[in-house]
Amino acid sequence: MAEGVLFNLAGKVLEMLGPLTLQEINLAYGDVKAELENIKTTVSIIQAVLLDAEKQGSHNNKVKDWLNKLRDVLLDAYDVLDDLSTEDSRYKMMTGNKMTKEVRIFFSSSNQLTYSLKIGHRIKAIRERLDAITIDKKDFRFIQSSIEPQVMNRGRETYSFVLEENVVGREDDKKEIIKLLLDTNTVENVSLIPIVGSGGLGKTTLAQLIYKDENVKNNFELMLWTCVSDNFVVKRIVKQILECFGGRRCEEIESLDILQKHLQRKLNGKKYFIVSDDVWIEDKNQWILLKDLLMGGARGSRIVVTTRSIKVAEIMDTPSRHELKGLAPKKAWSLFVKMAFKERVKSQKTKP
Ligand SMILES: Nc1ncnc2c1ncn2[C@@H]1O[C@H](COP(=O)(O)OP(=O)(O)OP(=O)(O)O)[C@@H](O)[C@H]1O
Ligand SMILES: [Mg+2]
């Protein structure tokens, strides 16, 4: 399962539990409000270890099974909360105005009782399943992490390939960045465009979409995808660029001066497009150095940098930056369902 999916799903459930006041609907079965409070506390406790659990789940089958159970409960909890909140707002909306006869019948006390009993049972069952999952959690040693998944997925390599049909939304973001890439009205020969956003938001995915766009491909002579997570070292980037553009290994070259000369020769007069994915340089001097080294391209050359760090984007000191926001609620949910159900189907297929 992609890391962070369950962490985000748990967050979604907590988000839905937040504003649920349920003052209007008379939930007759048991103490539903107390059950919901219970669920909220349990999901918060579980969410705190989920980033670590998801990491462990990639190589430990017991953890994987535990995560699968948790995913099923969270999806069911989401369904129940969705029903409940729809009902709650429908009731509030209707009782605020004159009710039609049908609405009056729907909210009649007998219908309400049946509804309350059904939903009360579902909520109680979810609370019980979550309690069991919390007990099982004791078998594992998960490390508690801060709520913001800041350090998720560090140090991995990324690549430019993406299956476009798997990407949900992002059409407007893509359009906006491509407009910047193809804009001929820029002061500098080479422009840097940072894409900033928190972990897992889809920065790499967006950069991949842009990289494979036909208009982009036709606009540049040289294209390169680089990934320099962790210690951003200008030399490593330059070597990657040279190896890709020039086809030669330059591991043995340590002199920045020689590397620069090679680079100037390669870039000279060429319009290039580089994606530098997952950049963490917060040292202004390194940026100045890299910019100097890359300025030799033809007018219109572009470098797109993806980063979680707003500080990186600020240090880069660029005229434009793209701050990536979350997907629109409908698209975001359709993505969650797509990812979570894909995993559910996969795990059901592998069951004996
Ligand atoms: N719009 C989308 N449609 C489909 N899948 C997406 C979308 N956005 C992100 N994903 C998926 O979510 C996961 C995280 O996305 P991605 O790697 O692009 O995030 P990121 O912002 O680059 O994260 P990081 O800061 O960790 O590098 C990936 O598995 C990706 O395929
Ligand atoms: Mg990324």
- Confidence label for 285 from pLDDT (cuts 50, 70 and 90): confident
Per-residue pLDDT tens over the stretch 62-97: 999 999 999 999 999 988 887 777 665 555 444 444
Centroid of ligand 1 to alpha carbon of 206 (angstroms): 8
DSSP string, 61-98: HHHHHHHHHHHHHHHHHHHHHHHHHHHHHHHHHHHHSP
What per-residue confidence (pLDDT) applies to 194?
92
Of 7-16, 19-28, 59-68, 291-300, the poorest mean pLDDT is in 19-28
Query: Strands, DSSP E only, in the chain?
Result: 190-196, 222-227, 272-277, 301-307, 322-323
Across 45-54, 109-118, 128-137, 185-194, the highest mean pLDDT is recorded for 128-137
What per-residue confidence (pLDDT) applies to 338?
67
Question: Could you give phi then psi for residue 26, rounded to 5 degrees?
Answer: -90, 95
Across 39-43, 308-312, 318-322, the highest mean pLDDT is recorded for 39-43
Q: Is 149 in the pocket of ligand 1 (CB under 6 A)?
A: no
3-class DSSP assignment, residue 221: coil
> How far apart are alpha carbons 21 and 239 in whole angstroms?
58
In the block, tokens 């300025």 appear at 295
What per-residue confidence (pLDDT) applies to 98?
46
- Atom 25 in ligand 1: residue holding the nearest Cα: 199
**Cα maximum dimension of the chain:** 84
What per-residue confidence (pLDDT) applies to 109?
52
3-class DSSP assignment, residue 303: strand
Residue closest to 163 by CA, chosen among 217, 197, 205: 205
- Which CATH class, in words, describes the domain spanning 164-327? alpha beta
What per-residue confidence (pLDDT) applies to 322?
93
What per-residue confidence (pLDDT) applies to 65?
93
CB atoms within 10 A of CB 345: 10
In the chain, the percentage of residues whose pLDDT exceeds 90 is: 19
Reported residue count of the chain is 352
331 Cα nearest atom in ligand 1: 1
What per-residue confidence (pLDDT) applies to 28?
47
Q: Is 307 in the pocket of ligand 1 (CB under 6 A)?
A: no
> How far apart are alpha carbons 350 and 142 in whole angstroms?
25
In the chain, the percentage of residues whose pLDDT exceeds 70 is: 71
Centroid of ligand 1 to alpha carbon of 283 (angstroms): 26
Mean pLDDT of 53-70: 91
What per-residue confidence (pLDDT) applies to 94?
45
Query: Strands, DSSP E only, in 214-300?
Result: 222-227, 272-277
Centroid of ligand 2 to alpha carbon of 139 (angstroms): 32
- Atom 9 in ligand 1: residue holding the nearest Cα: 202
What per-residue confidence (pLDDT) applies to 350?
52
The C-alpha angle 283, 285, 286, rounded to 5 degrees, equals 70
- Confidence label for 318 from pLDDT (cuts 50, 70 and 90): confident
Residue closest to 241 by CA, chosen among 222, 219, 268, 218: 222
What per-residue confidence (pLDDT) applies to 347?
53
Centroid of ligand 2 to alpha carbon of 50 (angstroms): 20
> How far apart are alpha carbons 126 and 81 in whole angstroms?
11
Per-residue pLDDT tens over the stretch 97-153: 444 454 455 445 555 566 667 778 888 899 999 999 999 998 888 887 654 433 333
Q: Is 166 in the pocket of ligand 1 (CB under 6 A)?
A: yes
Per-residue pLDDT tens over the stretch 151-173: 333 445 666 677 777 788 899 99
- Atom 11 in ligand 1: residue holding the nearest Cα: 202
Q: Is 41 in the pocket of ligand 1 (CB under 6 A)?
A: no
Exposed (0-12), middle (13-18) or buried (19+): which is 186, by Cβ within 10 Å? Answer: middle
Q: Is 205 in the pocket of ligand 1 (CB under 6 A)?
A: yes
- Atom 1 in ligand 1: residue holding the nearest Cα: 168
User: Of the residues 150, 156, 205, 325, which should be mutated to test ligand 1's pocket, given the most ligand atoms within 8 Å of the CB?
Assistant: 205
Residue scoring higher pLDDT (326 or 301): 301
- Distance between alpha carbon 308 and the CA centroid of its chain, in Å? 11
Give the residue extent of every domain in the chain: 5-149, 164-327
Q: Is 2 in the pocket of ligand 1 (CB under 6 A)?
A: yes
Asked if 191 and 230 count as a contact pair (C-beta separation under 8 A), the reply is: no
Residue closest to 339 by CA, chosen among 145, 67, 81: 67
Q: Is 235 in the pocket of ligand 1 (CB under 6 A)?
A: no
- Confidence label for 20 from pLDDT (cuts 50, 70 and 90): low
Q: Is 209 in the pocket of ligand 1 (CB under 6 A)?
A: no
170 Cα nearest atom in ligand 1: 1
- Atom 31 in ligand 1: residue holding the nearest Cα: 205
Q: Is the pLDDT of residue 250 over 80?
A: no
Summary mean pLDDT of the chain: 76
Centroid of ligand 2 to alpha carbon of 192 (angstroms): 17
- Atom 5 in ligand 1: residue holding the nearest Cα: 167
What per-residue confidence (pLDDT) applies to 176?
95
